[in-house]
Structure 1
């Protein structure tokens, strides 16, 4: 089998559940048809997604396939290897060293035997020429015999040590085979059939999809006075079986597998029945929560943020520098860029959701930048890391808001009182609710007054027969703003050790035919 040519990963496009990998290698082609063995590559590569092309040369890739084989894993033990596996590895190394020692001893003994033969030949030639020197001959033979004897003993010792290590290694391997299961590893290579018009050097580019590789957007927001530094990041996971070294990474919001899985059709059974007399006379009304999000200038308001699968435009982000991502299945942070934005910093309190006053920063993204995708945000202030929040989808030029932790100098309490009254003459039922919010500022004497924005809400009626009214004479102080979504806002300035009470009273009025849920 010919030796495989390395085919490294040079670029990877990461999606939400897979990755498109691009590989390149420069090969020497001969005129005609030839077969190339490339790799190793990840065994998870999708066969149907394989594509190949030749660059800088006249030729075509006529066939491209993945060949997978089960092979034993390397014998070198890792951190999780057992003591028996480590013993086998150690004995293997020692046995290889003993074999080398024995081979060196045999080579030295062969040299000494050649030296002894040369001494005997010199003695024979000198005696034939009439130049007798018994003393010199005796000393030379004695040195040669002594060195030969010592080397023979060393060779015997080396052979004995090799035999003992070989026996111990066989026993350890037999014990390891009985006690431990040595799993096989699935390896893969690419076999490409290339047809070239003439002999030349060319770049072979191969692309394929692979699972076990994905990305998610993330951010790091640092608040410095009235400025917000927003760093865009991407977390990358990959467990494809091969490390990516110095790879150009692209991050896409497209979903290539969405069309391959059509939705399952289910039966929707409709049943008709006659309404009862009570149901004809009464209409039941209940409260429901609606999340409203602003998509920016001209975007309007909607419950669902446009995405890739419902009319959104797929985005593709690129890492500024090549990145190395090991195949360990752990998240790796990749910095995509940063921008410095002017922020409107304020203290905000939403008593219905939390009894805390939060430092909020509202900022508007640049119109020319890409949208902010949904993802976690690491929040940093002058004191350091303060927590982690979440950033929703934000269109270019839209306003986003982040909370940078609560302020312990404030205390908020909220209470609700509800009463129900049925009108005898009007025939309408009125549900009155009074919400009282107490806001206190515990600060050292002489501290600067701090403005706090308080937000409350009232229901918004979708029926003409149900009326919702804010009782202005019983709401103190009057709210600064009242949006069409029922959000009321107060801006309260609190000095040190000051307390402020906000009272909101509203009623829901409906005829007797409408049943108001409690």
Structure 2
């Protein structure tokens, strides 16, 4: 069983064998690291010190095994951690330029402080001298003395000296303020560049028993936190072909770099509990409806999300969506991921397929006409939900999102809006009561005005697919009918979810108007419409 310990004096004398990372399996919020090394064992029981390894390694997940021509057994494996001491300070003769600059700034600060004290003392002395001179002038004037020229000259000399000392004092104080900022910057730079802080370093200590001397291959594995991955994609639309590149965004700050490792990406969630949920009683009771409930039928209009209207863009990377089944991906080549905590893009796969493109618009959701491309997933694996960088015509046009797509299933991507199209939507609604039964009749008219602004020289006709929804009734008391005779033109198709579709051909500079009319009929018992 792996155990955890701390280093002592004698243990530090054991030679350390390097134990690099050779394979990494990234999970959704952690990683499984595999290390390998070839050990030169001697016969008998011996103790080995391997590393350094990340101090974040999980002790209870440490597993070690030996393979080779001669039988060898791992008797004990443990992780030990220690704080590395600070490096020794350099001697004065070997001081760096930064330390010498800091020393000069400190000397200048001390000298300026002394000069400021001298200027304060001189100003105090000049102040007392001016007071004595004014007292002498007062006493002489009282005794009838008239030495105005001497008194004026002495006062002018004292005032001039006081002004000179004041200017010098202000210059010294200004330089002291600037010097304080320079000293703080130099001390910060010295702290970051030369003062090495103590670092927590981990090592693996193995106790092994070998029947004979010889080389043996060690395979050691453990879990590490502070590492995760998310899927990301890049779609390039070139004419009628779509190229979809599948990448993995990998972050890790485990305290060590991964250099030329075999990378495996998994959607397994090892942190989730495996116990089934507890079952609780769910009692169902029946009761008779009241007279008021029998007289009325309460209906509610609710919104349902329909995937046919195109994916809605989201910001950032979503969580890993694997449709409830663990998915595993392998990097085709060894990769290197620094432990700097930044996102690093790792390519996984790429495929090119023929795409069907159309200009589509759902005016109820957005007045923009979007270029949509569809193709089949020929990557050979499932495409997890993630962001997609969209490239069309050799230029980046935006970022969308891709939903979970099984192998062979259709992929649908929206490559930005077309600025040369404009769609305006107007709705009208009328409500009447008809017949002896006072049925409520709601008639709704939707008009879609589509226009195209063409550049000079354009003569191609463009087909725009317009989609507008019609309510679908789930109760017999409410009837929804599409009045095709009043639609102009009639929809080309209406699917089972009530989405009407028109394929409208628009010439350069042309305008088209589409009218949709439907009615909802409900009896007098229905409330909520």
Quickly name the TM-score band, shorter chain normalised: 0.7 to 0.9
Which whole-Å CA distance do the structure 1 matches of 2:420 and 2:464 have between them?
Answer: 12
Residue aligning to 1:516: 528
Check 1:272–1:486 CA distance in 2 against 1; reply closer, same or farther (3 A cut): same
Which whole-Å CA distance do the structure 2 matches of 1:395 and 1:439 have between them?
Answer: 36
Residues 1:54 and 2:66 are matched in the alignment = yes
More displaced stretch, 263-272 vs 228-237: 263-272
Check 1:194–1:20 CA distance in 2 against 1; reply closer, same or farther (3 A cut): same
| Structure 1 position 417, deviation (Å) | 1.2
Q: 1:240 aligns with which of 239, 254, 258?
A: 254
Check 1:70–1:276 CA distance in 2 against 1; reply closer, same or farther (3 A cut): farther
Q: 1:63 aligns with which of 55, 76, 95?
A: 76
Residues 1:437 and 2:448 are matched in the alignment = yes
Check 1:371–1:76 CA distance in 2 against 1; reply closer, same or farther (3 A cut): farther
Which whole-Å CA distance do the structure 2 matches of 1:491 and 1:510 have between them?
Answer: 32
Instruction: Output one character per residue of 1:437-476: Cα deviation in whole Å (capped at 9) or x when no partner.
Output: 1000111365211111111111222222222211111111
Residues 1:43 and 2:58 are matched in the alignment = no
Instruction: Output one character per residue of 1:88-107: Cα deviation in whole Å (capped at 9) or x when no partner.
Output: 9999xxxxxxxxxxxxxxxx
Q: 2:475 aligns with which of 463, 476, 494?
A: 463
Whether the 8 Å contact between 2:446 and 2:516 is mirrored in structure 1 is yes
- The correspondence of residues 18-417 of structure 1 with structure 2, limited to 5 A, is 18-57=30-69, 58-72=71-85, 87=99, 184-259=198-273, 277-293=291-307, 308=322, 312-366=324-378, 369-417=380-428
Check 1:46–1:280 CA distance in 2 against 1; reply closer, same or farther (3 A cut): farther
Residue aligning to 2:179: none
Check 1:423–1:86 CA distance in 2 against 1; reply closer, same or farther (3 A cut): farther
Q: How many equivalent pairs are there?
A: 415
Which whole-Å CA distance do the structure 1 matches of 2:58 and 2:430 have between them?
Answer: 66
| Structure 1 position 4, deviation (Å) | 1.8
Q: Secondary structure at the match of 2:16?
A: coil
Residue aligning to 1:107: none
Which whole-Å CA distance do the structure 2 matches of 1:16 and 1:391 have between them?
Answer: 18
Check 1:490–1:33 CA distance in 2 against 1; reply closer, same or farther (3 A cut): same
| Structure 1 position 266, deviation (Å) | 10
Check 1:482–1:407 CA distance in 2 against 1; reply closer, same or farther (3 A cut): same
Whether the 8 Å contact between 2:15 and 2:48 is mirrored in structure 1 is no
Residues 1:451 and 2:463 are matched in the alignment = yes
| Structure 1 position 487, deviation (Å) | 1.3
Check 1:321–1:383 CA distance in 2 against 1; reply closer, same or farther (3 A cut): closer
| Structure 1 position 254, deviation (Å) | 1.5
Q: Secondary structure at the match of 2:485?
A: helix
Residue aligning to 1:493: 505
Check 1:331–1:460 CA distance in 2 against 1; reply closer, same or farther (3 A cut): same
Check 1:279–1:55 CA distance in 2 against 1; reply closer, same or farther (3 A cut): same
Residue aligning to 2:142: none
Which whole-Å CA distance do the structure 1 matches of 2:268 and 2:89 have between them?
Answer: 41
Whether the 8 Å contact between 1:445 and 1:496 is mirrored in structure 2 is no
| Structure 1 position 44, deviation (Å) | 1.2
Structure 1 residue runs without a partner (length 5+)? 78-83, 92-171, 295-305
Check 1:271–1:327 CA distance in 2 against 1; reply closer, same or farther (3 A cut): farther
Residue aligning to 1:422: 433
Q: Secondary structure at the match of 2:99?
A: helix
Residue aligning to 1:301: none
Whether the 8 Å contact between 2:437 and 2:524 is mirrored in structure 1 is no
Residue aligning to 1:122: none
Whether the 8 Å contact between 1:435 and 1:504 is mirrored in structure 2 is yes
| Structure 1 position 491, deviation (Å) | 0.4
Whether the 8 Å contact between 1:460 and 1:468 is mirrored in structure 2 is yes
Residue aligning to 2:161: none
Whether the 8 Å contact between 2:452 and 2:508 is mirrored in structure 1 is yes
Structure 2 residue runs without a partner (length 5+)? 1-11, 91-95, 104-185, 309-319
Whether the 8 Å contact between 1:10 and 1:246 is mirrored in structure 2 is yes
| Structure 1 position 313, deviation (Å) | 2.8
Residue aligning to 1:483: 495
Which whole-Å CA distance do the structure 2 matches of 1:503 and 1:210 have between them?
Answer: 61
Check 1:419–1:479 CA distance in 2 against 1; reply closer, same or farther (3 A cut): same
Which whole-Å CA distance do the structure 2 matches of 1:75 and 1:344 have between them?
Answer: 68
Whether the 8 Å contact between 1:357 and 1:410 is mirrored in structure 2 is yes
Instruction: Output one character per residue of 1:118-172: Cα deviation in whole Å (capped at 9) or x when no partner.
Output: xxxxxxxxxxxxxxxxxxxxxxxxxxxxxxxxxxxxxxxxxxxxxxxxxxxxxx9
Check 1:33–1:265 CA distance in 2 against 1; reply closer, same or farther (3 A cut): farther
